[in-house]
Amino acid sequence: MTSRRPESFDGLGYRGSVDPSYGGYAGRSFNSSSGTDLQHWVTTPPDIPGSRNLHYGERTPQFETAPPAAPGSEDQSASGSSEQLNRFAGFGIGLASLFTENVLAHPCIVFRRQCQVNYHARNYHLSPFTAVSVMYSVTKTQGPKALWKGMGSTFVVQGVTLGTEGLISECTPLPRELSHKWNPKQVIGHLVLKGLSFVVAMPFYSASLIETVQSEIIRDNPGILDCVKEGVGRVIGMGVPHSKRLLPLWSLVFPTVLHGVLHYIISSAVQKVVLFLLRRKAPPGQPTNGPSGVQSMLDNYFPELMASFAASLCADILLFPLETVLHRLHIQGTRTIIDNTDLGFEVLPINTQYESMRDCINIIHKEEGPLGFYKGFGSIVVQYSLHAAVLQITKIIYSTLLQNA
């Protein structure tokens, strides 16, 4: 095998000769080139230690120092982490409040409604101690599900109400929210929107009420959407058969809208007043970082929760008699059988014959006395005591975690 090297190949000096195969162009010789040509055509290998592209004459330092931190960067990072912790605390506290209000308090709501519609009851359960005693007896006799029934239907009613309110506000000029610069026309339109949403959700509210007060002994296991099916069936006059004492839906419109709108007005007014008082007492100018700042930022989440708690409590207490009348009108003629709230076992049928809202008020006042409108009031005390305890415990836990963080 013959070598392909030219005879004149002498290493780097070969490039100084002229080769006809390259068109007569002379190559650059590393032996005869000047320093300027070497700098222009030859580049040094990349600087390995720092892996940097350096200019001529530069070298990579052996130990590269970090650039100095900008002033205030530590404070910004600390404030950012503190803000994340505070957001996490606010989310957790709000979630605990929502869980207590809609899930943990549901047994109290079930027992309260059973007491309100039970015209046979001799024990009015005005005290929380008697209410807790009977609730324990019902749970012991019928199982844990006895006081958790109908919880899914209550969420369905809330969803229907909110969905209807949003849909009507999109299709009509009725405002869904009131701005700070409101006028009487906007307030009236907003209340009309609330009333219309209560009217649309009314048949589903009736179906949900039946599910919550129906005794677990004779009650089937309904699905979540059974509330929707029974509500639609009551509107079109089909579905579960009812007695002749069943009141038509049009006669339930006024008490339902009256209770819903008054509850909204009272709760909104109380919430704004309590929130104003709490924020007025809060000391201004507190730091936003450090243990005291974390605690102050944590306290900022509680005025709104406490204002909402106080608003719901005041509205439920003030409208408790009207709620008793409303529930009796909705449950009449539905052939509902409830638990005996005097003993905690046995069942009782509901056989009332109210003609209207006024007739219901007169009969309750005549046969059961003024306290008959407050049957089951002890359960509302248990409900909001439990709610307040959960809020306070959650605040203590998050305050401890944030201070130790």
pLDDT at 35 over 60: no
**Residues in contact with 113: Cβ distance below 8 Å, sequence separation at least 6, in sequence order:** 209, 212, 213, 327, 376
Amino acid at 52: R
Residue-level pLDDT at 398: 72
151-171 vs 106-117: helix crossing angle, rounded to 10:
90
Residue 253's alpha-carbon distances to 88, 201, 256, in angstroms, are 42, 11, 5
What length does the chain have?
405
The DSSP output letter for 104 is I
324 versus 298: the higher-pLDDT residue is: 324
Average pLDDT over residues 126-130: 93
pLDDT tier at 81 (50, 70, 90 boundaries)? Answer: low
Q: Are 100 and 392 in contact (CB under 8 A)?
A: no
Strands 337-339 and 347-349, bridge-based pairing: antiparallel
Residue 242's alpha-carbon distances to 33, 229, 237, 238, 400, in angstroms, are 111, 15, 10, 10, 56
pLDDT tier at 131 (50, 70, 90 boundaries)? Answer: very high
Q: How far apart are CA 82 and CA 95, in angstroms?
A: 20
CA 303 to chain centre: 17
Quote the percentage of the chain above a pLDDT of 90: 40
In this predicted model, what pLDDT tens digit does every residue of 349-396 receive, in sequence order?
A: 998 999 999 999 999 999 999 999 999 999 999 999 998 888 888 778
Q: Which of 85-89, 266-270, 316-320 has the lowest mean pLDDT?
A: 85-89
Q: Are 92 and 398 in contact (CB under 8 A)?
A: yes
In this predicted model, what pLDDT tens digit does every residue of 150-204 receive, in sequence order?
A: 888 899 999 999 999 999 999 999 998 887 778 889 999 999 999 999 999 999 9
Amino acid at 129: F
Q: Are 367 and 376 in contact (CB under 8 A)?
A: no
Residue 273's alpha-carbon distances to 75, 280, 304, 305, in angstroms, are 36, 11, 11, 13
Backbone angles phi, psi at 337, to 5 degrees: -115, 125
Residue 123: count other Cβ atoms within 10 Å of its Cβ: 18
The DSSP output letter for 47 is B
Residue-level pLDDT at 28: 47
Q: How much is the mean pLDDT over the chain? A: 78
Residue-level pLDDT at 11: 47
pLDDT tier at 302 (50, 70, 90 boundaries)? Answer: confident
Report residue 44 as tokens.
């040094």
Task: Give the gyration radius of the chain's Cα atoms.
Answer: 39
Amino acid at 232: V
Report residue 196 as tokens.
């219309």
pTM of the model: 0.74
